Amino acid sequence: MAAGAFADGVFDATLGYFKIWSMYLGLRLGLYEVLREGELDADAVAERAGIDPRYAREWLEQQATIGVLEADVSREPPTFRLPEDAAESLLDPDSLSYLGATIRQLASLRALIDPVVDAFRTGEGVDPERFGTESSDGQGGSNRPVYLTTLPNEWLPHIEPFHAKLGSGPARVIDIGCGHGWSSIALAKAYPEAAVDGFDPDEHSIAEARIHAQEAGVDDRVRFHAVDAATIEATADLAMAFECVHDMPNPVQVLGAARQALSDDGAMLVVDERVRERFDGTPDQLDSYFYGWSIFDCLPVGRSATPSAATGTVMRPDTLRGYAREAGFTRFEILPIEHDAFRLYLLRP
């Protein structure tokens, strides 16, 4: 790669950096919510959002230059509008295009730079509590539309052991690493005879999950527990773990607890990142994205306990296969279900 091309790439990344932070600013200050009401000039945005007019003008003009807002400069003063596609991605938590929560989660990394630097030097991890509630809220919000829409409509109907069991009568399900509870809630809404127990060590996430279950009207069948799933002693027909195995210091112990909970004809669904099957040293946008999260979040969290598997976000299929085998599962299948970001695995005793 020529030096000029590399410099151009860094410049493009700089533009992206400012874009993320300026969008975060707009979300934090409620500026997009104000603009969703209609086309406004800077003074009107400032008045409705309760911010300073000069700062409002600078932000609005910057948002137009990066293509988030549309500006009408034929008017004096200029007016600005939020296009529908941008409004959906930034503000609609149920849209599969929703990115507002991801932007907030990215911004939560600002407090982690020094702890991550120390972790790199010492080989230790970073306590998950250091990430704060904005990180867990961002994670929960990012996954919400996929779990509420894609999981019940496109995934579960095509996973025969799950669909058959859930559709034939009462079924007991454990949801490991349930976070804000959207996967548990989605399953319970899709299958009215299912009872779900969700487990996650993060107390804030569990408190939010309980609220979400109550609001969804499934709290009579969905219960959440703030405990490490490695310690559970339960019985279940089915188990699932969504985008969490790679974060665990002890994935074999957690999968082993799930295996012990299942009957011999049970099954476990694991959903994790769709990374390439092996590292080959060539550029890849999706792996690059996941490595970014791994460096600043998932690997430091995974090393917060000792001993640690130190998996990281980029968990190759063979890595999970090894964990599953060690945990007592004898059948491991990569499901033929396509998704841009996730790969689905079926584990059976």
What's the CATH code of the domain at 80? 1.10.10.10
**Is there a single domain that holds both residue 58 and residue 177?**
no
Residue 305 lies in a domain: yes
Q: Which of 61, 91, 121 is the last residue of a domain?
A: 91
* Cis peptide bond upstream of 145, omega within 30: no
Relative to beta strand 262-273, strand 331-334 is: unpaired
Looking at the fold, whether 225 and 334 belong to one and the same domain comes out as: yes
Do 243 and 320 fall into the same domain? yes
Distance (Å, rounded) from C-alpha 120 to C-alpha 309? Answer: 16
Q: What is the mean pLDDT of the chain?
A: 97
Residue 97 domain flag? no
Looking at the structure, do residues 22 and 155 belong to the same domain, yes or no? no
| Statement: residue 45 has pLDDT above 80 | yes
What the block records as the tokens of 256 is 């082993």
Of 27, 61, 91, the one marking the end of a domain is 91
The percentage of the chain sitting over the pLDDT mark of 90, rounded to a whole number, equals: 98
The residue-averaged pLDDT of 4-23 equals 96
d(C-alpha 269, C-alpha 348), whole Å:
9
203 with 296, same domain: the answer is: yes
Q: What is the pLDDT confidence band of residue 94, given thresholds at 50, 70 and 90?
A: very high
The count of domains in the chain is 2
For 28, the domain range is: 3-91
Any idea which residue has 């539309």 for tokens? 145
203 falls within a domain: yes
Do 10 and 133 lie in one domain? The reply is no
The proportion of the chain whose per-residue pLDDT surpasses 70, expressed as a percent, equals 99
Please say if the pLDDT value at position 3 is more than 80: no
Check whether 2 has a pLDDT greater than 90.
no
Helices (H), the chain: 3-28, 31-35, 42-49, 53-65, 84-91, 100-108, 113-122, 132-145, 160-167, 182-190, 203-216, 251-261, 285-293, 299-302, 317-327
Give 275-287 pLDDT, tens digit per residue: 999 999 999 999 9
**Domain check: are 31 and 180 in the same one?**
no
Question: Can you give the pTM of this predicted structure?
Answer: 0.94
Calpha distance 21→3 (Å, rounded)? 27
Mean pLDDT of 165-170: 96
What is the pLDDT, as a whole number, of residue 274?
98
Give the chain's end-to-end CA distance (angstroms, integer): 49
152, 25: one domain: no
Taking residues 329-337, report their average pLDDT: 98
pLDDT of 143 above 80? yes
Shared domain for 283 and 139, answered yes or no, is yes
Residue 44, Cβ neighbours under 10 Å: how many?
Answer: 19
Q: Residue 1 above 60 pLDDT?
A: no
Question: Are 50 and 198 in the same domain?
Answer: no
- Over residues 263-271, the mean pLDDT reads 96
The pLDDT value recorded for residue 104 is: 97
**In this structure, are 260 and 200 located in the same domain?**
yes
